A and B are shown apart, each in its own frame.
Chain A
Amino acid sequence: MSSAAEPVPSSQPGAAPPPRTMRRLEPAAIAGVMSRELANFRTYWRGTTFSSVLEPLVYLLAFGLGLGATLVDEVEGVPYIQFVGTGMVATAVIFSSALPAMFGTFVKHRFQNTYEAILAAPVDVDELVTAEMLWIAARSAVYGCVPLIVTFFWGLPPAPGMLLVPLFAFVTALGFAGFGITTAAIVAKIDQFNYVTALFITPLFLVAGTFFPINGLPEFFQVIAQANPLHQLVELVRGGAFGFEWWDLARFAFLVAFAAVTWRIAITRLRARLIQ
């Protein structure tokens, strides 16, 4: 409306007219969508928290103690269990971001019609996607720290750089949440997620440098691994634990770019799904 910006002549002084035009990416809309996630999370947090603590423990026991006791002593000058423990942050992050984003978005859209109700309120698709990504990333930032904390019990010395790990986990999880939302908006049936997991998630998680250093791999895989956000996260976490290098800044910038790109793509794809 042409009058959107003009002051409204009012016969009642003091009665502030409500805003005629609403902005994009309003914090109130984003917070509202996140509060829905929080309300749901309060009903299922126990199970999620239990598995996200137990999983790294099992991996650490199997790989760290098993392999560490029999085959490998140290990697890059670090006791193997600490090498795995720091790398496991990336595992925790991808499994608490990409998968919930994929399944959660799909279920909310196709089975529960949740998004139809949210979009009938003054909330746009970009706000919806932003809120879902922020929520998942906030959760992952917490769950991502669990392996690190568990590894303290195997002698990992606390270091100030570790305070940055939640931030690294948060940014990486944003990217994978965007990835998950995008795939949920693209697939036609829920079982097509099997392809996504087999083709992307598992390889990304295996060649991230969590369980073995990637510089032992053929050169081709080493180049590919540089494009793997999880690998960059692993390196950043180890930087936080054992000392940063200057190019860690570039790794962080890469993760930010990954999040920004998947954010835009997720908005475009989900909008194409939800708005006909």
Chain B
Amino acid sequence: MAVEGDHLAVEPVQRPQPEVAVLGQLGEAEVALEGALEQGPDRPGLEEDVRARSRCSSDRRSDSTCSDLIQRSSSTGGILPDGPSGGLASVLGVGAIELRGVVKSFGPIRAVDGLDLDVPEGICLGLLGPNGAGKSTTMRLLTGQAIADAGELRVLGHELPRQSKEARALMGVVPQLDNLDIDVTVEDNLAVYARLYRVRDVGAAVDKALDIARLRDRRRDAVEKLSGGMRRRLLLARGLVHEPRLVLLDEPTVGLDPQIRTELWTLIGALKARGTTILMSTHYIEEAERLADEVAVMHEGKVISRGSPSELIATHAGRQTAEVYAPPQRLAELRAEAEAAGLRVRAAGPAIAIVGSERAENGTVPADAVVRAATLEDVFVLLTGEEAE
């Protein structure tokens, strides 16, 4: 191992580094396309599919053929047999993540309990669940830091845990807790991870990551001297230093103040626009609503419902929710009446929320109720029985 000046010379692995410009500077679809074509190891002849997908990721909601395409890919089940030139699934760009019947126990606790989860390439999937639902354990399974007791796991066509290292090379991970090296400079923090991910041109990768984090002018400062928001931006940029196709975000904004949260949402939004596949765990409803194309509600180690936020709302909560504020005695009576009329009711702080109130017959919903559009929060509480944040 040669020591050159201050840095260890690192042998680059021959992985072509796509020339993807800084977030937001290039047309999103082109970047997604280039990234997908150049990074994918063996996907000749499939430009068509990738092109279609990158169009989807840049303009999903307005293009119905796109949702068809996504739908079709997810409904094929994802795990396709290996073709002659490697995992067909990965070639098609169908499943960035495919989990089947995954079980993980810690002693008597079943943290993950028969989890099925598909994340097609190019979408942002929000894994929404209350504390202890198994979100972090799922993330750890995907990075090979927990080994499943049962089930099949595939990440970008690589089977886990056997090919976990190959999968990790293509994946970026942003942890819930800040684990930057605080005495070290901003740029050295990034450079170390560029080396760990075998990036060939470390200097260029660091520059791009600095632009993402908007920390170019602070590059030589120790991390210790950064503000909380800057540190979180750096943490996110560190996970992107090798321009991964798939990014895992474990509760990216938990415990942060609203301003920093908004800053991070902007960055994650830009990443999404670039066509990067994102799996993001959260227990903030608003975060899922703003960022996720699809939400999987996780409870006690399983996905109990999945769909776009509007689909989930339509399926589980209907159109309207009526919130009633009254003394506890009266609330209990109203609740009993609504439930007797076949409506679903949940506690909402000091009030009760009668979900699907548009179906209520006259008189079930009191006249002084506040009627509002149904939200993902209604769905979350109905499904998991937990108060949302």
Residues of A within 8 A of B (CB): 1-3, 8-12, 15-22, 27-36, 38-40, 42-44, 112-114, 116-124, 274-276
Instruction: Determine which residue in A35, A119, A120 has the highest number of CB atoms from chain B within 10 A of its CB, and name it.
Output: A120
Are the CB atoms of A3 and B84 closer together than 8 Å?
yes
Specify which of A10, A38, A123 is in contact with B196 (CB 8 Å cutoff): A123
Are the CB atoms of A40 and B85 closer together than 8 Å?
no
Q: A1-B87, A3-B86, A11-B45 are in contact. Are A36 and B168 (CB under 8 A)?
A: no
Report the separation of the CA atoms of residues A29 and B147 in the bound assembly, to the nearest whole angstrom: 22
Q: How far is the CB of B74 from chain A (nearest CB, A)?
A: 22
**Using Cβ atoms and an 8 Å threshold, which residues of chain B touch A16?**
14, 16
Instruction: Determine which residue in B45, B159, B184 has the highest number of CB atoms from chain A within 10 A of its CB, and name it.
Output: B184
Q: A119-B143, A120-B145, A122-B168 are in contact. Are A19 and B13 (CB under 8 A)?
A: yes
Q: Could you write out 30 A-B pairs with CB less than 8 Å apart?
A: A1-B82, A8-B85, A15-B16, A18-B15, A18-B16, A19-B14, A22-B165, A27-B1, A27-B11, A28-B12, A32-B10, A32-B195, A35-B7, A39-B191, A40-B181, A40-B184, A42-B6, A44-B183, A113-B177, A114-B181, A116-B145, A116-B175, A116-B179, A117-B175, A117-B193, A120-B143, A121-B168, A122-B165, A124-B165, A275-B146
**Using Cβ atoms and an 8 Å threshold, which residues of chain A touch B173?**
117, 120
Are the CB atoms of A12 and B44 closer together than 8 Å?
yes
**Using Cβ atoms and an 8 Å threshold, which residues of chain A touch B189?**
39
Are the CB atoms of B165 and A31 closer together than 8 Å?
no
Specify which of B42, B144, B188, B193 is in contact with A17 (CB 8 Å cutoff): B42
**Using Cβ atoms and an 8 Å threshold, which residues of chain B touch A8?**
41-42, 85-86
Q: How far is the CB of A135 from chain B (nearest CB, A)?
A: 10
Are the CB atoms of B145 and A38 closer together than 8 Å?
no
Are the CB atoms of B14 and A31 closer together than 8 Å?
no
Report the separation of the CA atoms of residues A17 and B7 in the bound assembly, to the nearest whole angstrom: 28
Q: How far is the CB of B334 from chain A (nearest CB, A)?
A: 47
Q: A19-B13, A32-B195, A122-B197 are in contact. Are A117 and B179 (CB under 8 A)?
A: yes
Report the separation of the CA atoms of residues A18 and B7 in the bound assembly, to the nearest whole angstrom: 25
Say if the beta carbon of B9 comes within 8 Å of chain A. yes
Instruction: Determine which residue in B1, B85, B192 has the highest number of CB atoms from chain A within 10 A of its CB, and name it.
Output: B192
Q: How far is the CB of B124 from chain A (nearest CB, A)?
A: 19
Report the separation of the CA atoms of residues A34 and B15 in the bound assembly, to the nearest whole angstrom: 22
Are the CB atoms of A1 and B147 closer together than 8 Å?
no
Are the CB atoms of A31 and B13 closer together than 8 Å?
no
Report the separation of the CA atoms of residues A21 and B10 in the bound assembly, to the nearest whole angstrom: 19
Report the separation of the CA atoms of residues A274 and B85 in the bound assembly, to the nearest whole angstrom: 34
Say if the beta carbon of B218 comes within 8 Å of chain A. no
Q: How far is the CB of B326 from chain A (nearest CB, A)?
A: 47
Report the separation of the CA atoms of residues A274 and B143 in the bound assembly, to the nearest whole angstrom: 12
**Using Cβ atoms and an 8 Å threshold, which residues of chain A touch B41?**
8, 17-18, 20
Report the separation of the CA atoms of residues A10 and B12 in the bound assembly, to the nearest whole angstrom: 22
**Using Cβ atoms and an 8 Å threshold, which residues of chain A touch B179?**
112-114, 116-117
Report the separation of the CA atoms of residues A274 and B169 in the bound assembly, to the nearest whole angstrom: 19
The 9 closest A-B pairs by CB, nearest first: A32-B195, A120-B173, A113-B179, A121-B196, A32-B196, A122-B169, A11-B44, A43-B183, A18-B15
Q: How far is the CB of B224 from chain A (nearest CB, A)?
A: 10
Specify which of A1, A17, A44, A113 is in contact with B157 (CB 8 Å cutoff): A1
Q: A28-B195, A121-B197 are in contact. Are A275 and B165 (CB under 8 A)?
A: no
**Using Cβ atoms and an 8 Å threshold, which residues of chain A touch B157?**
1
Report the separation of the CA atoms of residues A261 and B169 in the bound assembly, to the nearest whole angstrom: 30
